[in-house]
Amino acid sequence: MFDHDHPIYEQLLKLIREHRFLTTHQLVRLTITEYGSLRSAKRQTLRHLWTLHDRQFLTRLERRIGGWQGGSTVTIWTLTTKGMRHLTGSRSRLRPHHYSTTFLEHTLAVAEMNILLNELSVQHPELQVEVRNEPECWRRYLNEHGVTTTLKPDLSVTVTSPEYVDRYFLEVDRATENPGRVIGKCWQFIHHRRSGTEQKRTDGIYPFVVWIVPYEKRKAQLVRAMDSEPKLQRELFIVVTPNELLPLIRDGPSTA
């Protein structure tokens, strides 16, 4: 279908399918290596997106989305039924759905962390950074009652260097939930760890669980909540702001 068009069309559609929703700026960053400059990437990416929109492969949402540094109105792109059928060969139709701003903010924030990790791997070629999105990062296991359960982190990350391999589950927190619900999710990771299924997949060491929060006040709030749980295996959990994520992934967790 795109044989005589720009080869970037297929890449853009696949990226949007992988993340479900992406902003124009995020798509520019994900494809910038295809262009000679940032200016060219911005101009041409927008042109390609509008071409795909005009051909009804993409639809767009205009929303005011709160970012880590504040909110702004952005253009968000997602696949249409035609776009999904092109990629999958399926004849099924995407159901119309109203996506809440809260859902979109979380989905875009997860995509942002993925993009930051992709940029880290470009900046540090000595590191192999493997990121898995939902649902590939989900884990099925038997809980303490023998019931099959699914753990649903936002992302899983494996960092391989010549000296070490580090593994993480990432949870993107938007400060919209009571800390008690975060603690409840922490216990899900504890139960998964106790099942031993993850350790069989790897080298016997369970991944660190990293909560990425939007600001320092929320970080302090979650740290206090975790510290107040005496039976929580505290060494398993790390709370960081977005600016602290890449140094953690690059340098590894503190051993102090």
pLDDT of 88 reads 83
- Per-domain residue ranges of the chain: 8-92, 116-251
pLDDT of 167 reads 97
Banded model confidence at residue 70, pLDDT cuts 50, 70, 90: low
User: Which helix or strand (DSSP H or E) is residue 45 part of?
Assistant: helix 38-54
pLDDT greater than 80 at residue 64 = no
139 versus 33: the higher-pLDDT residue is 139
CB 114 within 8 A of CB 52: no
Where are any strands of DSSP class E within the chain?
22-23, 58-67, 70-79, 128-132, 139-142, 148-151, 155-160, 165-172, 208-212, 237-240
pLDDT tens-digit series, residues 140-178: 999 888 899 999 999 999 999 999 999 999 999 999 999
Place of tokens 């899983």: 156
Average pLDDT, the chain: 91
User: Which helix or strand (DSSP H or E) is residue 61 part of?
Assistant: strand 58-67
User: Which helix or strand (DSSP H or E) is residue 81 part of?
Assistant: helix 81-88
pTM, entire model:
0.90
Domains 8-92 and 116-251 share a fold: no
Per CATH, the number for 116-251 is 3.40.1350
216 versus 35: the higher-pLDDT residue is 216
Average pLDDT on 6-20 reads: 93
Decide which of 1.10.10.10, 3.30.360.10, 3.40.980.10, 3.90.226.10 is the CATH code for 8-92.
Answer: 1.10.10.10
Instruction: Measure CA 144 to chain center.
Output: 29
Distance CA 191, CA 246 (A): 27
101 versus 69: the higher-pLDDT residue is 101
The Cβ-side half-sphere exposure at 50, using a 13 Å CA radius, reads 6
Distances (CA, A) of 245 to 3, 27, 64, 163: 40, 21, 25, 20
pLDDT tens-digit series, residues 218-255: 999 999 999 999 899 999 999 999 999 999 999 999 86
pLDDT greater than 50 at residue 69 = no
pLDDT of 96 reads 61
pLDDT greater than 90 at residue 7 = no
pLDDT of 68 reads 46
94 versus 252: the higher-pLDDT residue is 252
* Token reading at 141: 């296991």
CB 23 within 8 A of CB 110: no
pLDDT greater than 80 at residue 71 = no
pLDDT greater than 70 at residue 2 = no
Distance CA 53, CA 102 (A): 24
Instruction: Measure CA 186 to chain center.
Output: 18
* Token reading at 207: 């991944």
CB 58 within 8 A of CB 148: no
Average pLDDT on 176-195 reads: 96
Burial environment of residue 93 by CB neighbours within 10 A (0 to 12, 13 to 18, 19 or more): exposed
Backbone angles phi, psi at 66, to 5 degrees: -75, 120
Place of tokens 């101009």: 43
Q: Which residues pair with 60 in a beta bridge?
A: 77
Nearest to 63 by CA among 53, 73, 55: 73
pLDDT tens-digit series, residues 100-137: 888 999 999 999 999 999 999 999 999 999 999 999 99
